[in-house]
Amino acid sequence: MEDEHTKSVWSKEIPVKEQLGIFKRLMHFVMRFKKEMLIALIGAFLVSAINMLLPFGLQYFLDNYLVHLSVPAQIILFAGLLYGVGSLIKAILQFTYEYFFALGSEKSLESVRRALYKKLHTLGMRYFDQTPAGSIVSRVTNDTMTLSNFLTVLGSIVMSFFSIVSAFVAMFTSNFVAGLIMLAFLPIMLFIIWQYSKRSSRLYRNYRERLSRINTDLNESIEGVSLIQQFKQEKRMINYFEDENNSLMKTRFNMINLNSMLLSPLTSMLYSLALAVALMYFGFPLRTTFVPAGVVYAFSQYLSQFFNPISTMMDQMTLFQDGIVAGKRIFKILDATQYEPKQNAQTGLTITKGKIEFKHVSFSYGGKNEILHDISFTVNPGETLGIVGHTGSGKSSIINVMMRFYEFHKGEILIDGVNIKKYPKKELRKKLGLVLQDPFMFYGDISSNIRLYNRNITDKQIKEAAKTVQADSFIEKMPGKYHAKVGEGGSELSQGQRQLISFARTLVSDPKILVLDEATANVDTETEALIQQGLKRLRKGRTTLAIAHRLSTIADADQIIVLDKGRIVERGTHEQLLAQKGYYYNLYTLQKKQK
């Protein structure tokens, strides 16, 4: 999906200086594969040299032998053989150039993709809050593909450059004055290229913008199909799409017009003109010296070696610009600075007991609006802390700072008496188990979703864990059992089943501390009972922070804190809080009435 980020990049022209900067950085990736690129460059150079030599050889043969009526058969044979060998060497060199260039380009692209993916894993939640997932996917896939075109164009530009230079060298060697006359066509060509590039880049930007709008529309109408049908929005959507589609076609049409006017016809007209001028010069009646036919032949070859690459280059100019834009968007990710909160990897500290202390913790997502204010509590090893409060009161935010998804700037969080920031990330992730309301399922099977590709976990352990959290019975009923396929996002599993699998997943990783966002929605009473039992078993012997939407589920918690607008407004056990007849009491009675 294209997005606002995309649009802003397309609608603005990138200043030349910035384009050069992007180009240099892209070349940095390419230069990692110097060996391949150097071989390709030598290949391209030699191909151009042969392109220059072959007509030269033919010119020599024409002027020295073919003009005479009787040419010895050996000479003809030798000339034919020489030309054949030359063409064969050219083909081999062409292959070498293309092969090594493709190899270098693909390796460069692979390294760009790797760098992007690696970078994404260093970025914090803040980055993902601000960047639409669709745009990230499009950066890693589409934009790197666009870079592939860009590199192909780059190769063709190098090749064209060699071809143009060698054509000129050959023309000057063959006939200096004619070469000079042909040089006059160069500024004309450059002028046409300049004019073409100005117009085509504007049209191309326009085209991409419209295409991106169509993509966004399409995406919206697929994702929101139920809403569209429910509110009878089909007609409006179709009309809107038609308008966009029409504009796209018009822009595309303008592009085709420009290309069909400027691209081939103009260059081939100029080529014919140049050829005519050359022929006129060679056949000029007042000439005192005779110009041999071979020279005329070679000249016509050199002229086509000059004009053809120019029209190819013009044709590919938009792809080149496309590559620069793709590069800009890729570097935007590589330069992002919203890193995940830092942990100290050197300390080697381990979490053994699981005591949690929040001391005057305050937190904001963007650094402006404080969401959590002065939060303090202690949870002793093995105890459960229930967190309750209205929607938006800050429950998930407490989990977010506890899990180190976001950095907090005021106060302290201690685990086993040590500042949470001092634990290596690996230790933290190992000892803190997070169970979310709607757990994510990976593409694969049930067992890989429980094991999460940790090879140290045996099948037996998986089954034990599933049994403990009561997931085993439904897994055993599935076709394929523990190897039953799980599609993208686990859509063919019910929410309750996904919950139970995620419990098993957490149980096999055996964390010291559990962080739970309690599941409530859309499960039947039977599954609810299963989930509650599973949770109870999961919590056993572990320190637990649990967000509870249904208060009955944490009635047995050792301590409950009640949040309101990011502050703790009440704390105590279920009974103590009910007796206070405050927020908790009100929430509890409200929920009872709703039942």
Ligand X SMILES: Nc1ncnc2c1ncn2[C@@H]1O[C@H](COP(=O)(O)OP(=O)(O)OP(=O)(O)O)[C@@H](O)[C@H]1O
Tell me the closest approach of the beta carbon of residue 374 to ligand X, in angstroms: 15
Cβ proximity to ligand X: between 60 and 588 the closer is: 588
Cβ proximity to ligand X: between 138 and 397 the closer is: 397
Site residues for ligand X, window 122-141 (CB under 6 A)?
129
Looking at 392, 480, 487, 541, which residue binds ligand X (CB under 6 A)? 392
Question: How far apart are the C-alpha atoms of 182 and 171, rounded to whole Å?
Answer: 8
Contact status: 289 vs ligand X (CB under 6 A): no
Query: In the block, which residue shows the tokens 């890729």?
Result: 330
Looking at 329, 373, 395, 451, which residue binds ligand X (CB under 6 A)? 395
Looking at 70, 288, 289, 391, which residue binds ligand X (CB under 6 A)? 391
Phi, psi of 540 (to 5 degrees): -55, 120
What's the length of the chain?
Answer: 595
Collect all residues with Cβ–Cβ distance below 8 Å to 277 and sequence separation of at least 6.
181, 182
Looking at 124, 179, 386, 394, which residue binds ligand X (CB under 6 A)? 394
In order, the DSSP letters of 272-302 are HHHHHHHHHHHT-TT-SSPPPHHHHHHHHHH
Cβ proximity to ligand X: between 301 and 393 the closer is: 393
Phi/psi class of residue 330: alpha, beta or left (left: φ > 0; alpha: ψ in -120 to 50)? Answer: alpha
Phi/psi class of residue 417: alpha, beta or left (left: φ > 0; alpha: ψ in -120 to 50)? Answer: left
Which tokens belong to 441?
Answer: 């399922």
Contact status: 13 vs ligand X (CB under 6 A): no
Beta carbons of 328 and 20 less than 8 angstroms apart:
no
176-183 and 185-223 helices, crossing angle to 10°? 40
Tell me the closest approach of the beta carbon of residue 562 to ligand X, in angstroms: 11
Distances (CA, A) of 229 to 214, 217, 238: 20, 15, 12
4-11 and 293-334 helices, crossing angle to 10°? 140
Site residues for ligand X, window 496-555 (CB under 6 A)?
none
Which tokens belong to 498?
Answer: 């996904």
Tell me the closest approach of the beta carbon of residue 364 to ligand X, in angstroms: 8
User: Positive or negative CA dihedral for 25, 26, 30, 32?
Assistant: positive
Cβ proximity to ligand X: between 126 and 139 the closer is: 126
Contact status: 396 vs ligand X (CB under 6 A): yes
Looking at 51, 160, 393, 470, which residue binds ligand X (CB under 6 A)? 393
User: Positive or negative CA dihedral for 273, 279, 280, 281?
Assistant: positive
Cβ proximity to ligand X: between 122 and 130 the closer is: 130
Tell me the closest approach of the beta carbon of residue 164 to ligand X, in angstroms: 55
Q: Please give the size of the binding site for ligand X, defined by CB under 6 A.
A: 11
Q: Which region, judged by CB under 6 A, interacts with ligand X, from 33-41, 55-63, 321-329, 388-396? A: 388-396
Cβ proximity to ligand X: between 298 and 399 the closer is: 399
Question: How far apart are the C-alpha atoms of 592 and 270, rounded to whole Å?
Answer: 87
Cβ proximity to ligand X: between 154 and 563 the closer is: 563
Cβ proximity to ligand X: between 321 and 397 the closer is: 397
Tell me the closest approach of the beta carbon of residue 224 to ligand X, in angstroms: 22
Tell me the closest approach of the beta carbon of residue 525 to ligand X, in angstroms: 22
Question: How far apart are the C-alpha atoms of 93 and 90, rounded to whole Å?
Answer: 5
Tell me the closest approach of the beta carbon of residue 140 to ligand X, in angstroms: 22
Q: Which region, judged by CB under 6 A, interacts with ligand X, from 74-82, 116-124, 157-165, 387-395? A: 387-395
Residues making contact with ligand X (CB under 6 A):
129, 365, 371, 389, 391-397
